[in-house]
Structure 1
Amino acid sequence: MGKNLKGKEIGRGISQRKDGNYMARFVDPYGKRRTLYGKDLNILRHKLEKIRYEAEQGIFDAEGKITLIEWFEEYLRLYKVGKVKETTVYRIRQTFSPCRKNSIGEMKLKDIRAMHVQELINQLHEENFTYGTLQLLKSLLNEMFKVAIGNGYMIINPCDAIVMPPKVTYEARFLTEKEQKMFLEVAKEYSHYEIFCTCLSFGGRIGEVLGLKWTDVDFQNKTLHIQRTLHYGKLKEDEPCHFFFTTPKTETSNRTIPLLPETEEILKQVRKKQLRNRIIHESQWKNEIPFDNMVFTTKEGMPIRYGDVNRTIKSVILKANLEEEELAKIENREPFVLKPFSPHCFRHTFVTRCRMNSVPYETIQPYVGHSNKEMTEHYNHEKIQMDVEALKKVSFL
């Protein structure tokens, strides 16, 4: 038992120094000798008892300083990096990003309670984060906390007491024929016009369209091979944003589809435009592997970012609405407002046009890359011809 300066016993592992301060010594679960200091004996006793209790419960963390952000990086390193696709790690980072902007990110793991996570979820809900995004974040934190408990950093999982906001189901946004005509009329003036038309013409995901190479386009056999997705972002926290490819979303997303007449015509226009740009910008033209031979590029041959396409859509919508507002004043009527949408809307529009024209869903599925166990992996010649004939009757542009 330790003693104070007067020789009185004051507790196991505790003693009083000559300067009057108290000192508590203990060995942590890792065998390292540690020391606590304090002027108040009762406070020091409380700290020591707490540390001993936490050690017994298996939650000793050096001095309890590991934060949520620090644990996230450790969690990724130990359980995700090298075990899942790089893009999965990228998406996990994207899911966690709201925590970096919230005070919970700098909180020590051992101090996080259900109310802190609930406040985060409530705040993001008020900021119009979708239910799906919030559910992904909760699932990620739940898994992180479970692993933290297993590693001795926490006693309870704060996510066990979380109440999610009500789930609101939204209908998929698609463009009506009037909206599409209004949008494309203005979009003709923008460099991403052909990207919009390509998305509308076969229903591909925006990353798939931006990831197309000329080797994927077979004008002779009139087929289009979808085999990669283009991304722009960080795979690691300490690296700059950059372009990278991944394989498509699912097995059925890697597909060869018939090249529809409208898609073929658009791609031929893109080819001519690109050849002109290569001549004009010959010395600046970028054609570095693996981003060589890309279908959609900037004037200097660089791949195109999703964010740039999204910004162009916003600019087109703004200009289209301003022009419509002026025209409505002249014609003395209420303006027709084109509501905001994302590139994914083009995909929904393609599917909607097909269904409105009674195109069988099994014919649509190969184009959009949806999975169906009853579908064969490859098309035979007769099936390709049937698909083209069914879709030729539909005008997508």
Structure 2
Amino acid sequence: MGKDLNGRELGNGISQRADGNYMARFVDCYKKRQTFYGRDLKELRRKLEKAKYESQQGINSLGGSIILLEWFEEFLQLYKVDKVKDTTVYRIRQTFSPCKKNRISMMKLQDIRAIHVQQLVNEMDENGFSYGTIRTLKYLLSEMFKKAIGNGYIVINPCDAVVMPRKVTYEPRFLTEQEQEMFLEVAKEYSHYDIFCAALSFGGRIGEVLGLKWGDIDFQRKKMHIQRTLHYSRVNDDEPCHFFFTSPKTETSDREIPLLPETEAILKRVHKKQLRNRMLYASQWKEEAPFDDMVFTTQKGMPIRYGDVNRTIKSVIVKANLQEEELAKIEGREPFILKPFSPHCFRHTFVTRCKKNGVPYETIQPYVGHSEKEMTAYYNHEKQEIDVSTLNKISFLGVV
């Protein structure tokens, strides 16, 4: 039994030093001596009992110092790197990124409680993150905490007591025919016009459109192979943003599809412009592997960033609305305002046009590369053939 400076009994493993500080010691389950110091005897006893309990439960003492951000990196190396695709590791990093802007990332694993995860979830909901994004992060954190329990870092999974925000179902944003005509009329003046037209003409995800190479296009067979997605981002925090490819979003996203007449016309138009730019900027033309042979490039041959496309869309919308407001004043009517949208809207517009013109879901699904989960409500999954005849009857761009 330890004693204080006045000779009073303090209990097993506790004593008082000459400087007045109390000291508590015990040997944990790993045969390692643990020592704690403090002025507050009551608080020191609480720490000692907590440490003894965690030792009895087999909790690794490292759990007392490792923070969530450190555990995330260790978790990736132990359970993901070289075990899943590089693209999956990239997406896991993207999923975890909201944590890095929250204090939870710097908290010790043993200090994280359900309330801290709940505060993160609530904050993301207030900042406009989608239900799916929040749910995916919760799943990731739950998996990380389960592995931490297995490694003896913590006892409970904080995610078990977290409540998800109310799920709000939004109708996918698509362009009406009037909106599309208004947008494309102004977009003709911008360098990304052909990208907009291509996305509308075959419903590809914008990363798939930007990732196209001429080797993917077979004008003879009238086929197009969607097999990669272009990104511009940083994969790790210690590196700058850069271009890189990943495989398409899902297994069904890697697909060979018929080359529709409007898409073919757009691609041939792009090819002519690119040949002209190659001659015009001969010495400045950039074409380095793996970003050679790209369909959509800058004037000097560089790949195009998603962010630049998104900014161009915003600029076009602003200009289109200004022109419409002026025209409405002259004609004495209310202006038709084009509401904001993202590049993904082109994909929804393509699908909407198909549905409106009676194209069966069994044809839409393999063409746009929807996963079964995305289109479960609409399909008979046993039939996955693309009936190009129904698609050839539709004009996705009108007269533009």
TM-score by length of 2: 0.90
Q: 1:296-329: per-residue Cα shift (whole Å, max 9, x none)?
A: 1112211111122111111111111111111112
Q: Distance in 2 between matches of 1:351 and 1:39?
A: 69
On the 8 A contact 2:87/2:247 being kept in 1, the answer is no
Cα 1:122–1:42 change in 2 (3 A) is closer
Q: Distance in 2 between matches of 1:62 and 1:243?
A: 38
TM-superposed deviation, 1:163: 1.9
Partner residue of 2:376? Answer: none
On the 8 A contact 1:208/1:226 being kept in 2, the answer is yes
Cα 1:298–1:30 change in 2 (3 A) is farther
Partner residue of 1:100? Answer: 100
On the 8 A contact 1:60/1:152 being kept in 2, the answer is yes
Letter in 2 for 1:242: H
Aligned-residue CA RMSD (Å): 2.1
Partner residue of 2:220? Answer: 220
Letter in 1 for 2:80: K
TM-superposed deviation, 1:44: 2.4
Q: 1:339-361: per-residue Cα shift (whole Å, max 9, x none)?
A: 11111111111121122222233
- Point out where structure 2 has 5 or more consecutive residues left out of the alignment: 373-380
Cα 1:12–1:347 change in 2 (3 A) is same
Letter in 2 for 1:136: T
Matches within 5 A, 1:112-127: 112-127=112-127
Partner residue of 2:232? Answer: 232
On the 8 A contact 1:89/1:235 being kept in 2, the answer is no
Cα 1:132–1:289 change in 2 (3 A) is same
Percentage identity across paired residues of the two chains:
74
TM-score by length of 1: 0.91
Partner residue of 1:390? Answer: 390
Q: Does 1:170 align with 2:170?
A: yes
Q: Distance in 1 between matches of 2:80 and 2:19?
A: 50
Letter in 2 for 1:112: I
On the 8 A contact 1:23/1:38 being kept in 2, the answer is yes
On the 8 A contact 1:90/1:234 being kept in 2, the answer is no
Cα 1:148–1:392 change in 2 (3 A) is same
TM-superposed deviation, 1:151: 1.9
Q: Does 1:311 align with 2:319?
A: no
Deviates further, 353-362 or 163-172: 353-362
Q: Distance in 1 between matches of 2:348 and 2:116?
A: 38
Partner residue of 2:137? Answer: 137
Deviates further, 10-19 or 97-106: 10-19
Q: Distance in 2 between matches of 1:284 and 1:311?
A: 25
TM-superposed deviation, 1:250: 2.9
**Matched position secondary structure for 2:324:** helix
Letter in 2 for 1:46: R
**Matched position secondary structure for 1:283:** helix
Q: Distance in 1 between matches of 2:195 and 2:217?
A: 15
TM-superposed deviation, 1:15: 3.0
TM-superposed deviation, 1:8: 4.9
Matches within 5 A, 1:238-387: 238-370=238-370, 373-375=381-383, 387=388
Q: 1:107-157: per-residue Cα shift (whole Å, max 9, x none)?
A: 222222222222221222122211111111221122222222222222222
Q: Distance in 1 between matches of 2:241 and 2:271?
A: 28
**Matched position secondary structure for 1:155:** coil
- Point out where structure 1 has 5 or more consecutive residues left out of the alignment: none
Cα 1:117–1:174 change in 2 (3 A) is same
Length, aligned pairs only: 389
Q: Distance in 2 between matches of 1:130 and 1:177?
A: 27
**Matched position secondary structure for 1:395:** coil
Partner residue of 2:204? Answer: 204
Letter in 2 for 1:374: E
On the 8 A contact 1:87/1:235 being kept in 2, the answer is no
TM-superposed deviation, 1:181: 0.3
On the 8 A contact 1:260/1:392 being kept in 2, the answer is yes
Q: Distance in 2 between matches of 1:85 and 1:239?
A: 20
Deviates further, 33-42 or 216-225: 33-42
On the 8 A contact 1:75/1:144 being kept in 2, the answer is yes
Q: Distance in 2 between matches of 1:369 and 1:9?
A: 74
Matches within 5 A, 1:8-157: 8-62=8-62, 64-157=64-157
